[in-house]
Amino acid sequence: MKSTYMIGEFSEMTGIPVRTLHYYDEADLLKPSRQASGHRIYTLDDLVKLQKILSLKSLGFSLAQVSELLKLPQYDQSLVEMLKLQQQSLQSKREKIDESLELISRIMTIMESEQQVDHPLLFSLIRNISQENVQREWIANHLSEYTAETLFDQPEETQKKLDAKTVSFTRDVKRLAEGPPDSQEAESIVGAYVKWVMTYLDQQAIDNFRNLNEEQVAKLDQLVEMPFNETETAWLDQALQHYFSKYSLSEIGEPQYDRGKRS
């Protein structure tokens, strides 16, 4: 093995692009010696230092952190603490990446199924899915843990079915909002949706929902975005009022959790 290398040779030997070696030099991270002509000359000591740099980078440290770590004469418990912090940071990033991948998968499923989705609905779905963790926490704290679990702690395929149900109901509301909210079709579709929602509620959630104050209802409205304009929202409110004026909760169906407890 040679004792010195021109930058091209060093790049070929290490697999590090010349451009990256230039950057490391400019950042005072790996500074080779120079010939009188100004050409960089790398040594075996530079090779050892480069391996240290790459090792620390593989742990996820930034170049600024790598530079500081390389200045330490030896590593002690402080490095362990840094590694713990780095581990937590990487785990958090991995969770965010996993969440983004799930979001992409769910949106792709909707697009493949629907072929075409208008802007308000698409971006409403994206925003709702993006803040499901916050929605789950609010529902667990203000309605019930059971409802939070049944709505959010489900396999991805189950969540995709929930998305499809939401898209279908949204399309129906937008279509029916041009007509009367008490029509037979409106009553049928709204009723089916209400019964479906009831399967995710227990009695505690129903009781707590009835007792929400105006501020809490407003907060829920902020957390769960509905892709409807003012006309569609007003129509849906009227359709729900009409439906509940005809049917009581006992006629609609028992809360899922209570029914399961008795079986």
User: For the domain that residue 28 is a member of, what is the CATH number?
Assistant: 1.10.1660.10
If we measure between CA atoms, which residue out of 61, 62, 60, 46 comes closest to residue 14? 46
In terms of domains, do 123 and 238 share one?
Answer: yes
User: In this structure, is residue 128 part of a structural domain?
Assistant: yes
Structure confidence by residue, pLDDT tens digits, 107-119 = 999 888 887 888 8
User: In this structure, is residue 80 part of a structural domain?
Assistant: no
Domain boundary among 71, 87, 103: 71
User: In this structure, is residue 13 part of a structural domain?
Assistant: yes
Per-residue pLDDT, 100: 87
In terms of domains, do 140 and 221 share one?
Answer: yes
Distance from C-alpha of 107 to C-alpha of 159, rounded to nearest angstrom: 11
Domain count, the chain: 2
User: In this structure, is residue 111 part of a structural domain?
Assistant: no
Distance from C-alpha of 260 to C-alpha of 247, rounded to nearest angstrom: 23
Per-residue pLDDT, 261: 47
Q: Give pTM, 2 decimals.
A: 0.65
Per-residue pLDDT, 251: 63
Query: Do the Cβ atoms of 171 and 117 come closer than 8 Å?
Result: no
In terms of domains, do 128 and 226 share one?
Answer: yes
Cβ atoms < 10 Å from Cβ of 20: 12
What SS3 string covers 174-221? HHHCCCCCCCHHHHHHHHHHHHHHHCCCCHHHHHHHHCCCHHHHHHHH
In terms of domains, do 127 and 232 share one?
Answer: yes
Distance from C-alpha of 50 to C-alpha of 24, rounded to nearest angstrom: 9
User: In this structure, is residue 86 part of a structural domain?
Assistant: no
Distance from C-alpha of 6 to C-alpha of 8, rounded to nearest angstrom: 6
User: In this structure, is residue 157 part of a structural domain?
Assistant: yes
Per-residue pLDDT, 120: 82
In terms of domains, do 245 and 157 share one?
Answer: yes
Q: Which ranges constitute the DSSP H helices of the chain? A: 7-14, 18-26, 44-58, 63-71, 77-114, 119-130, 132-142, 145-152, 156-176, 184-198, 203-210, 214-223, 230-246, 249-252, 256-262
In terms of domains, do 121 and 229 share one?
Answer: yes
User: In this structure, is residue 46 part of a structural domain?
Assistant: yes
In terms of domains, do 66 and 123 share one?
Answer: no
Structure confidence by residue, pLDDT tens digits, 21-56 = 999 999 999 999 999 899 999 999 999 999 999 999
Give the burial string for 34-52 (b: 16+ CB within 10 Å, else e): eeeeeebebeeebeebbee
Handedness of CA 245, 246, 252, 254 (dihedral sign): positive
If we measure between CA atoms, which residue out of 178, 182, 167, 174 comes closest to residue 240? 182
Residues of the chain with pLDDT under 50: 259-263
In terms of domains, do 251 and 124 share one?
Answer: yes
Paired strand residues for 43? 4
Distance from C-alpha of 32 to C-alpha of 5, rounded to nearest angstrom: 10
- Residue 161 tokens read as 């079915």
Per-residue pLDDT, 170: 93
Which 3 state secondary structure label does DSSP give 40? strand
In terms of domains, do 53 and 124 share one?
Answer: no
Per-residue pLDDT, 72: 84
> What phi and psi, each to the nearest 5 degrees, are found at residue 5?
-145, 140
User: In this structure, is residue 138 part of a structural domain?
Assistant: yes
In terms of domains, do 131 and 18 share one?
Answer: no
Structural domain range at position 22: 4-71
In terms of domains, do 129 and 231 share one?
Answer: yes
In terms of domains, do 128 and 230 share one?
Answer: yes
Domain boundary among 37, 71, 105: 71
